Amino acid sequence: MKFKAIKGARDFYPPDMEVRNAIFDAWREVSLRNGFVEYDGPTLEYLDLYTAKSGDEIVQQLFHLTDRGGRELALRPEMTPTLARMVNAQVATLPKPIKWFCIPRCYRAERPQRGRLREFFQWNIDIVGLDDPLADAETIFVAVDLFRWFGLSPRQVVMKINSRELVAHMLLDLGVDATRLPPLYAVLDKRDKMPRAAFDAALAEILPDESVRRAMNEHLALPTLADVRSARTWAPATHDAIVEVQKVLDWLDRWGVGEYCTFDLGVVRGLAYYTGIVFEAYSKGGLKRSVCGGGRYDELLRVLGGPEIPAVGFASSDVVMQDLLDEFNLLPGRGGQRLDAYVIDADPSLFEQLISIVGALREKGVRADFSYRRLPLGKQLKAASNAGCAAAILLGQETRDRDVVTIKDLATGQQREVPRERLLAEPVSNLPRGGPA
Amino acid sequence: MKFKAIKGARDFYPPDMEVRNAIFDAWREVSLRNGFVEYDGPTLEYLDLYTAKSGDEIVQQLFHLTDRGGRELALRPEMTPTLARMVNAQVATLPKPIKWFCIPRCYRAERPQRGRLREFFQWNIDIVGLDDPLADAETIFVAVDLFRWFGLSPRQVVMKINSRELVAHMLLDLGVDATRLPPLYAVLDKRDKMPRAAFDAALAEILPDESVRRAMNEHLALPTLADVRSARTWAPATHDAIVEVQKVLDWLDRWGVGEYCTFDLGVVRGLAYYTGIVFEAYSKGGLKRSVCGGGRYDELLRVLGGPEIPAVGFASSDVVMQDLLDEFNLLPGRGGQRLDAYVIDADPSLFEQLISIVGALREKGVRADFSYRRLPLGKQLKAASNAGCAAAILLGQETRDRDVVTIKDLATGQQREVPRERLLAEPVSNLPRGGPA
């Protein structure tokens, strides 16, 4: 009887776990240095939390089940509904703006494919309660700050920024009916993933009037915000939307990450609930998919039972992040689980003393290990090197009689004697730093 | 429309998350300093992985569901089956002994009660591939090392140690039939949770012979290993088991944690698969339940499709750990998400410069934030204190003209001017450490 992992889920052996932990550490520290605090919710939520947000179609993309009390539950496919539920539950007392992040494990019941698994981790960044382009800009800044953390340059990644409100008002000005906007967003969002003919056919179904379609295609192809501004005489609401996007871009320059950011009318995001700025980051390498995306969603908390409260945020997944870093040879280095010291006995009669010393070192915070088998000194030293330790602590008959131990720096090979009690009292200052890389 | 969290699951608002992260950090660092490395598996596994280990009765305690391909999946109720599956898949190449830990979220479909929720986190420690009392002792040592990390003394917690093998051979020597052992373990494990009469009745059903029952009750009440040894003439296998328990206790003395540990014939653990040493830690305070438990399980990897390979491990949950720490006022302190610096402008015209400085500080790893509203200096300073910052960085018209900023240590109230470029080049050495606690 052989057991396997389910398809679309991953086993994280220790080397995989080191990469995952390094990505989580980056997510966590970049969030904290930008003034966000961490929260989490349950993995299982009532199913109607998701259908209330996304409609009944979402059910087939969810892992869902009925509990013993007959209630329909689902494994969270994303974090935003939980965020909305938690904020709404304490909306009167939470100080605003709420700057929260989390790293939930999420689930999708779909067929696994490259970059999309059935179990994955997401990084979520949200600012709730601040209706200001500065909040949009800061959210985008955090995503770019992560790229900088990993050493990704503006030659490797690009943050494309647009506004749903701008697109909406442009299209209204060009004669598109307001009821056509939501299906248009869904089709525009898929443009790069569809053959040209299929895209044109889908458009024609939503916008039967060819002159409107042509005007739309022409104007949505404008490359810069200045081009949009001067393309024609827009209504005041359209002009306001242009000014708002410009503010976001200006703040991003101020934050020092303007080089990573570009205006792009092609980014509309597929989901219905975005109300303002939307953005997506892309690799400039071979990886063609979006590595992070988000936007402003000022209606969602109300839809999910709360008051009207503005919000902006984004999500990214560990799967695409790992693909992105891998593409540019920037996967975080191993070694986060490395030992500090390996304790070695020259002779089996010293083993009981070895165990006492290991126990005392560990209590003092030293990552210490030893060989379970009584091996010759040379083999134990080899095990210490293999484990990546910075130091070996050698116990010999002769040094025991003088109450000293020998500390060998495994990077330089240098040895020196240290009184045993001094090592145990202050291990950190008596051991070499770091391991042989 | 109001949404709630499901029963038996928890919302972790940022203050709750700080406690959870502090417990995880402790689990992680104690594991690493004892030479364990982290792994993880999927949350969803095939259902038969659990029924193969625990029988069909387990199904009603699981959240399970059928995926679109018609396969029966379950949310993991524990980690050991996944550990066995993963080790078995790479058993030929993984260096032994395998010292692994993990912190999985686990799920139980049972009615929530104090200390037992439907979603919880577990800390798992396992040593696979080492059939030596030293491995049992080291596993127990790690659990006690966590108690020491949190400042729990031997007056507050006790680690009770026994051996399934010892109990088995004692009972065989006393005339109990081997087929009666598994049901006996299940009843003995529940002794403290049952009324005396119910316990006696359950025993009488398994062991109809009253003289055998009396002999069992008498011998299982022996308080020390020395009492067991001298109670009667035992068979050689029983004697060997006594020697093995003694070895484990001796090693724990050597590790320096003998004070926490005691032999206790009453600990048998309910699960069928333990084969040797078993142990449970208890609070000595009002909390009457086990806070961690484990033992040797030398058969399980074979049962789950692998070769015969010895293993020992334990698990503990974040729920009981939090109850335990709470009981002794040792819940880890808040502050892990504290900001380093709060940047303040004396006048709104400086706000754009403020944003540039915040961006540059964050890039250098400083946890920096600011007020979104342009408030008077005093209110911004108050916000800095409320956020627990160590430092405020003050920008004024006059200091801007001289390219300096004023750094105020919020713990001492002291202020000094620093050239702006020097602060941005080396922020860490120019900012005070820690925050006002």
pLDDT digits (tens, 9 = 90+) for A56-72: 888 999 999 998 888 99
- Supply the pLDDT for residue B44: 97
- CB contact under 8 Å between A35 and B368, yes or no, is yes
- CB contact under 8 Å between B3 and A52, yes or no, is yes
Residue linked to tokens 């130091």: A391
- Supply the pLDDT for residue A338: 86
Measuring CA to CA, which residue among B432, B435, B401 is closest to residue B419?
B401
Q: Which of A29, A33, A389 to mutate to test the interface with B (most CBs of B within 10 A)?
A: A33
- Supply the pLDDT for residue B247: 98
- Supply the pLDDT for residue A1: 58
The pair of structure tokens assigned to B433 is 């450490």
Q: Which amino acid is residue A142, in one-letter code? A: V
pLDDT digits (tens, 9 = 90+) for A345-390: 999 999 999 999 999 999 999 999 999 999 999 999 999 998 889 9
Count Cβ atoms below 10 Å from residue B226 Cβ, excluding itself: 12
- Supply the pLDDT for residue B150: 96
Return d(Cα B267, Cα B277) in angstroms, integer. 10
Closest-CA distance, A132 to chain B, in angstroms, reads 9
Domains of chain A: 14-327 (3.30.930.10), 341-430 (3.40.50.800)
Closest-CA distance, B9 to chain A, in angstroms, reads 6
Q: Which residues from A are below 8 Å from B355, CB to CB?
A: 134, 251, 254-255
Q: Is the dihedral of CA A221, A222, A228, A230 positive or negative?
A: negative
Residues 111 through 150 of chain A touching chain B, CB cutoff 8 Å = 118-119, 130, 132, 134-135, 141, 145, 148
The strand pair at B37-38 and A415-419 is best described as unpaired
Return d(Cα A61, Cα A78) in angstroms, integer. 11
Q: Which amino acid is residue B42, in one-letter code? A: P
Q: Does B88 touch chain A (CB under 8 A)?
A: yes
Q: Which residues from A are below 8 Å from B49, CB to CB?
A: 3
Instruction: Kindly report the pTM of this predicted structure.
Output: 0.94
Asked whether A130 and A332 are in contact (CB, 8 A), the reply is no
Q: Which of A355, A366, A389 to mutate to test the interface with B (most CBs of B within 10 A)?
A: A355
Residue numbers in chain B where pLDDT is lower than 70 = 1, 333-334, 434-437
Residue linked to tokens 């729990």: B152
Which residues are bridge partners to A122 per DSSP?
A317
- Supply the pLDDT for residue A42: 98
What share of chain A has pLDDT > 90, as a percent? 84
Q: What is the number of alpha carbons within 13 Å of residue A325 lying toward its C-beta?
A: 20
The strand pair at A290-296 and A105-107 is best described as unpaired
- Supply the pLDDT for residue B278: 97
- Supply the pLDDT for residue B437: 41
The strand pair at B391-395 and B341-345 is best described as parallel
- Supply the pLDDT for residue B434: 65
Q: Which residues from B are below 8 Å from A65, CB to CB?
A: 63-65
Query: Among A43-52, A268-277, A289-298, B131-140, which is the least confidently predicted range?
Result: A268-277
**What values do phi and psi take at A427, rounded to 5?**
-60, -40
pLDDT digits (tens, 9 = 90+) for B206-221: 999 999 999 999 999 9
Q: Which residues from A are below 8 Å from B109, CB to CB?
A: 67-68
Measuring CA to CA, which residue among A415, A382, A376 is closest to residue A399?
A415
Asked whether A84 and A54 are in contact (CB, 8 A), the reply is no
Return d(Cα B107, Cα B114) in angstroms, integer. 15
Return d(Cα A374, Cα A134) in angstroms, integer. 63
Return d(Cα B359, Cα B365) in angstroms, integer. 10
pLDDT above 50 (res A437): no
pLDDT above 60 (res A327): yes
Q: What is the DSSP letter of B333?
A: P
pLDDT above 90 (res A192): no
Rg (CA), chain A: 28
- Supply the pLDDT for residue A436: 44
Q: What is the DSSP letter of B94?
A: S
Report the residue from A4, A40, A339 with minimal CB separation from B17.
A40
Cβ neighbours of residue B376 under 8 Å, at least 6 residues apart? none
pLDDT digits (tens, 9 = 90+) for A229-238: 999 999 999 9
The pair of structure tokens assigned to B93 is 């190449």
Return d(Cα B53, Cα A253) in angstroms, integer. 59
Mean pLDDT of A120-143: 97
Report the residue from A40, A141, A362 with minimal CB separation from B33.
A362
Which of residues B249 and A186 earns the better pLDDT score?
Answer: B249
Return d(Cα B237, Cα B260) in angstroms, integer. 28
User: Which chain B residue has its CA at the smallest distance from A64's CA?
Assistant: B65
